[in-house]
């Protein structure tokens, strides 16, 4: 566990999302998640700041609108790592020298369990209502199962209501819809950094909403108890900083468990953050997509929906999806729970563009209601495999003398590679990232998460034993300055073949 030296407390800087530094992906979204570098030949300095970001494209010769050109720019400028990976993807039999992906946050440990469950006969049903237009909020039978599921696993003090549930095709759609219906164009959400950088696109592309960063430090200050700790004082400073620049902040985004740090907010912290938002009449979007991926029971994870009292229920909106906790990023299933009926109705209207097929809604309802399978088969085995994989990668990093943060939740370690940067610059961070990619291992670099300090990387451990072993061998080779070898060296520690 990484424990930095204490330093004097200092105010966090506030900045606005820069299109040149974010990862482009689809929400928690999917295998299209990309924390990869952008082509910075053409920057968009005004994209989240004052001014019209489309102006720089006005003279371009293209059939696209200026807005379309900005949207295309997002796609074009974030492809390097992901495109390279898919052109040379590792396959044990067909391409054993291909790239190992330790950059995309997907759980690849439980396909065997999921394929067996999803192939059972109760999942296969076709009837007219499933092939016709549904209620855009989601079929009533599915919203009822989602409400029961969240009530149980979030330990809600009172049963949650199906009418407060909206079903969409993934977390990216939830973010996009909420940003569009909660904010005017040019307004902002506060978000602590480092954070899952794809949210930048999710809130901007449809809603033209920006992000005001609450920068957190790795050094433990006088008021902190852990690295990268969020406090109400830091939120207040960031809010005032945004206001001083003439930016109207409409809400706060919290990720719990946190991506990429892997830690969880305590119930006391959650109440403090929600209280801050209530005082300033801010909406709070709480992303709980990793809530069932807490494999260290001692963390005592608590959902916002499990709190006894919410300071402002009408401005508290909770999202969850099956992409992470059930390893189904390709199925595209996300949910929103909000007690604000106007918000639910507005988001449901956008579900015309973000809805799910009736057949998938039926399957998801069957899965969520199967409490016996979830509790007795899936969750215990998933947590066991996550913990074993986490133990292996942690051991490899310790053997290398590499500091890292790990909160016992999620699929990732937040790894401190600052000592491998000769000058401690963002350029040097990219040089190291490309050295990893050249050595056939894809990682996510810290700038993609708007980390304040160059040299931090996110390493995914939720993968099969043989791929983890090979990926860590290649990572070790880069850090030890060794050249590419024909055969990979034996690992320091075996993660176990049970994955």
> Mean pLDDT across the stretch 99-116?
97
Rounded CA-CA distance 295/288 in Å is: 15
End-to-end CA distance of the chain: 24
Q: Residue 330: pLDDT above 60?
A: yes
Full-model pTM: 0.89
Percent of the chain with pLDDT over 70: 84
Ramachandran sector of residue 338 (left: φ over 0; alpha: ψ -120 to 50; beta: rest): beta
Cα distances (angstroms) measured from residue 411 to each of 174, 302, 386, 460: 22, 18, 7, 6
For position 406, what pLDDT does the model report?
82
- DSSP notation for 197-229: TTHHHHHHTTT--EEEEEE--SSB-TT-SSTT-
Q: Please provide the CATH number assigned to the domain covering 133-370.
A: 3.40.640.10
Q: Which residues fall within 8 angstroms of residue 133, CB to CB, at 6 or more apart?
A: none
Specify whether the CB–CB gap between 20 and 38 falls below 8 A: yes
Q: What is the pLDDT of residues 184-227, one digit of tens each?
A: 999 999 999 999 999 999 999 989 999 999 999 999 977 788 99
Tell which wins on pLDDT, 362 or 299.
362
Q: Which residues, listed in sequence order, are joined to residue 335 by a DSSP beta bridge? A: 167, 320
How far is C-alpha 309 from the chain's CA centre? 26
Q: What is the pLDDT of residues 114-146, one digit of tens each?
A: 999 999 999 999 999 999 998 899 999 999 999
> Which tokens belong to 94?
């067909």
Q: Residue 53: pLDDT above 90?
A: no
> Which tokens belong to 129?
């209502």
For position 18, what pLDDT does the model report?
41
Q: What is the DSSP letter of 376?
A: I
- Rounded to 10 degrees, the C-alpha dihedral 62/63/66/70 comes to -70
> Mean pLDDT across the stretch 167-174?
97
Specify whether the CB–CB gap between 415 and 444 falls below 8 A: no
For position 59, what pLDDT does the model report?
60
Q: Residue 232: pLDDT above 50?
A: yes
For position 71, what pLDDT does the model report?
85
For position 67, what pLDDT does the model report?
83
Tell which wins on pLDDT, 300 or 380.
380
For position 386, what pLDDT does the model report?
98
Q: Residue 66: pLDDT above 90?
A: no
> Mean pLDDT across the stretch 139-161?
98
Rounded CA-CA distance 142/140 in Å is: 5
Lowest mean pLDDT among 33-47, 244-258, 289-303, 467-481: 33-47
Q: What is the pLDDT of residues 197-208, one digit of tens each?
A: 999 999 999 899
With bands split at pLDDT 50, 70 and 90, how would you rate the model's confidence at 55? Answer: low
For position 16, what pLDDT does the model report?
59
Q: Residue 490: pLDDT above 60?
A: no
Q: Residue 58: pLDDT above 90?
A: no
- Picking from 355, 354, 371, 331, the residue whose alpha carbon sits closest to that of residue 130 is 355
Domain ranges of the chain: 133-370
- Picking from 138, 176, 130, the residue whose alpha carbon sits closest to that of residue 348 is 138
Lowest mean pLDDT among 87-91, 259-263, 489-493: 489-493
Give the neighbor-by-neighbor strand order of the sheet with 404-405: 404-405, 412-416, 456-460, 444-445
With bands split at pLDDT 50, 70 and 90, how would you rate the model's confidence at 7? Answer: very low
Rounded CA-CA distance 115/140 in Å is: 26
Q: What is the mean pLDDT of the chain?
A: 87
Q: What is the pLDDT of residues 348-405, one digit of tens each?
A: 999 999 999 999 999 999 999 999 999 999 999 999 999 999 999 999 999 999 999 9
- Rounded to 10 degrees, the C-alpha dihedral 43/45/46/50 comes to -170
Specify whether the CB–CB gap between 145 and 153 falls below 8 A: no
For position 48, what pLDDT does the model report?
44
Q: Residue 51: pLDDT above 80?
A: no
> Mean pLDDT across the stretch 4-14?
43
Residue 443 burial (10 A CB sphere; 0-12, 13-18, 19+): buried
Q: What is the pLDDT of residues 335-359, one digit of tens each?
A: 999 999 999 999 999 999 999 999 9
Specify whether the CB–CB gap between 105 and 28 falls below 8 A: yes
Q: Which residues fall within 8 angstroms of residue 329, CB to CB, at 6 or more apart?
A: 28, 29, 30, 31, 33, 106, 323
User: What's 149-191 look like in SS3?
Assistant: HHHHHCCCCCCCCHHHEEEECCHHHHHHHHHHHHCCCCCEEEE
> Which tokens belong to 213?
């960063």
């Amino acid at each position: 566990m990484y424990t930095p030296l204490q330093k004097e407390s200092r105010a966090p800087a506030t900045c606005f999302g820069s299109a040149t530094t974010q990862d482009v992906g689809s929400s928690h979204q999917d295998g299209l998640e990309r924390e990869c570098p952008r082509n910075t030949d053409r920057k968009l300095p005004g994209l989240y700041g004052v001014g019209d970001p489309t102006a720089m494209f006005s003279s371009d010769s293209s059939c696209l609108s200026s807005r379309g050109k900005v949207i295309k720019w997002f796609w074009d400028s974030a492809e390097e790592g992901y495109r390279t990976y898919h052109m040379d993807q590792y396959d044990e039999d067909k391409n054993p020298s291909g790239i190992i992906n330790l950059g995309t946050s997907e759980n690849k440990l439980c396909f065997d369990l999921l394929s067996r469950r999803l192939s059972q006969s109760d999942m296969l049903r076709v009837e007219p209502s499933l092939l016709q237009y549904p209620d855009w909020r989601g079929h009533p039978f599915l919203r009822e199962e989602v409400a029961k599921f969240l009530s149980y696993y979030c330990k809600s003090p009172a049963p949650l209501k199906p009418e407060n549930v909206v079903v969409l095709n993934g977390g990216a759609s939830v973010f996009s819809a909420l940003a569009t219906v909660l904010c005017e164009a040019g307004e902002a959400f506060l978000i602590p950094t480092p954070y899952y950088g794809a949210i930048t696109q999710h809130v901007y592309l449809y809603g033209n909403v920006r992000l005001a960063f609450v920068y957190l430090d790795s050094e433990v200050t006088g008021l902190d108890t852990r690295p990268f700790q969020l406090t109400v004082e830091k939120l207040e400073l960031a809010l005032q900083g945004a206001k001083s620049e003439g930016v109207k902040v409409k809400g706060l985004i919290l990720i719990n468990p946190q991506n990429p740090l892997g830690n969880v907010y305590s119930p006391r912290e959650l109440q403090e953050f929600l209280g801050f938002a209530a005082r300033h009449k801010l909406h709070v979007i709480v992303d709980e997509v990793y809530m069932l991926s807490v494999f260290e029971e001692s963390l005592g994870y608590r959902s916002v929906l499990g709190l006894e009292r919410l300071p402002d229920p009408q401005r508290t909106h909770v999202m969850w999806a099956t992409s992470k906790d059930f390893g189904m990023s390709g199925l595209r299933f996300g949910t929103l729970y909000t007690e604000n009926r106007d918000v639910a109705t507005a988001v449901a209207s956008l579900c015309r563009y973000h809805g799910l097929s009736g057949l998938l809604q039926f399957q998801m309802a069957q899965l969520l209601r199967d409490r016996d399978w979830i509790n007795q088969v899936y969750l215990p085995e998933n947590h066991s495999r996550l913990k074993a994989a986490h133990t292996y990668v942690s051991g490899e990093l310790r053997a290398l003398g590499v500091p890292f943060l790990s909160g016992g939740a999620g699929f990732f370690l937040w790894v401190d590679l600052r000592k491998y940067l000769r000058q401690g610059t963002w350029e040097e961070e990219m040089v190291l990232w490309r050295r990893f990619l050249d050595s056939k291992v894809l990682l996510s670099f810290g700038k993609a998460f708007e980390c304040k300090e160059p040299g931090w990387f996110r390493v995914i451990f939720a993968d099969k034993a043989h791929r983890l072993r090979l990926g860590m061998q290649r990572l070790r080779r880069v850090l030890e300055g060794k050249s590419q070898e024909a055969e990979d060296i034996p690992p320091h520690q075996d993660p176990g073949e049970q994955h």
